[in-house]
Amino acid sequence: MWSRGTGRYALVMLGAWLIVALVSLFWTPQPLLATDGYHVWDTPSASHWLGTDGTGADVLSWLMAGSRTNLAIAALTVVCSGALGLLLVGLMVSRSHALASVSVAVVDALISIPTVLIALLLAVPFGASAAVVVGACSIAYGLNLARVARPAALLAARSQYVESARSNGMGGFGVLVRHIVPNITPVLAVQLSMSAGTSVLAEAGLTYLGVGVGAGVPSWGHSLATSVKLINVFPLTVLWPGLVVTLAVVALNLFGDALRDAADPVANPALRTAGPRPTHWRKGTSDDR
């Protein structure tokens, strides 16, 4: 991945994101709750490197603290949507024709529900929180993952080696984990990286609508929502969180593409030339015979 320009950019940006998230646990330029009523919507200065928002809080401090919230949302979305998507894939390629047909129909029906509507339905009983963002994104992106990965999974499920494994007594879960999932890994890499990137955008949009991260919780969407109303007057305050979101989403999308190319023998010639190392036998031993 490092040998490719897109992969290098993705690794550098994701590494910087992780470092900033870890540093924000122990240090930020200003305390998050510190406000300065005399320097509201301030421009960048020595005391506030990226300026202040409408309450006089330091923008850089909130962006640094929000990086760990968005990182947790993206990671949890990948895990939950991946688990849901693989479960649905297993049902859609099941040997039971009735179960597979019902699973395909259910996925096709549910995939049309917008993520915003799912978030609104979850926010009614649970309230606005990061868990609502993760739940809505996981359901929506898990359905999309299952729909996209189904053709490749179905092709692998009908292969001769899968039939041989089943005839030798391997169950459906073993076939899914040992044979189907490795064959759809390139699709999973791209879809899960897109899910992580889209979850960052979804967090910003859902927080702006009031069903995302709760008030007082630092996140990039919170920084955007508190300043977007005065974008015509104070554009710099909106520029910084918008730029951070853009860089993170691009890095996540490119990470999936670079990971797919690095792991795909068709796109990576080095994998086609790789092979077992030669074994040098000692002369005069029985192994030579």
Note whether residue 37 is domain-resident. Answer: no
State pLDDT tens for residues 34-88.
887 788 888 888 888 898 888 888 999 999 999 999 999 999 999 999 999 999 9
Residue 62 within a domain: no
Asked whether residue 199 carries a pLDDT value surpassing 90, the answer given is yes
**Number of folded domains in the chain?**
1
Judged by DSSP in three states, 58 sits in strand
Is 3 inside a domain boundary? no
Domain span at residue 251? 76-262
Q: For the beta carbon of residue 194, count every other beta carbon within 10 angstroms.
A: 19
For residues 88 and 161, which has the higher predicted lDDT (pLDDT)? Answer: 88
- Whether residue 144 lies inside any domain: the answer is yes
Please indicate, yes or no, if residue 44 is contained in any of the structural domains. Answer: no
Per mean pLDDT, which range of 59-68, 96-105, 157-166, 215-224 is the poorest?
157-166
Is 270 inside any structural domain?
Answer: no
Q: Domain for residue 169, yes or no?
A: yes
Q: Tell me the pTM.
A: 0.87
How many angstroms separate the Cα of 255 from the Cα of each of 69, 78, 147, 280?
A: 20, 13, 22, 39
What token pair was written down for 65? 């603290």
Q: Look at residue 284 in the predicted model and tell me its pLDDT.
A: 47
Taken in order 173, 179, 180, 186, the sign of the CA dihedral is positive
With respect to residue 61, please indicate whether it lies within any of the assigned structural domains: no
Q: What is the CATH number of the domain that holds 184?
A: 1.10.3720.10
Instruction: State how far the alpha carbon of 21 is from the alpha carbons of 24, 95, 201, 247, 252, in Å.
Output: 5, 45, 18, 15, 16
Q: What's the Cα-to-Cα distance from 282 to each of 279, 285, 286, 289, rounded to whole Å? A: 10, 6, 9, 11
Give the Cβ contact number of residue 77 at 10 Å.
28
Distances 85 to 46, 49, 146, 147, 217 between C-alpha atoms, Å: 48, 42, 5, 8, 29
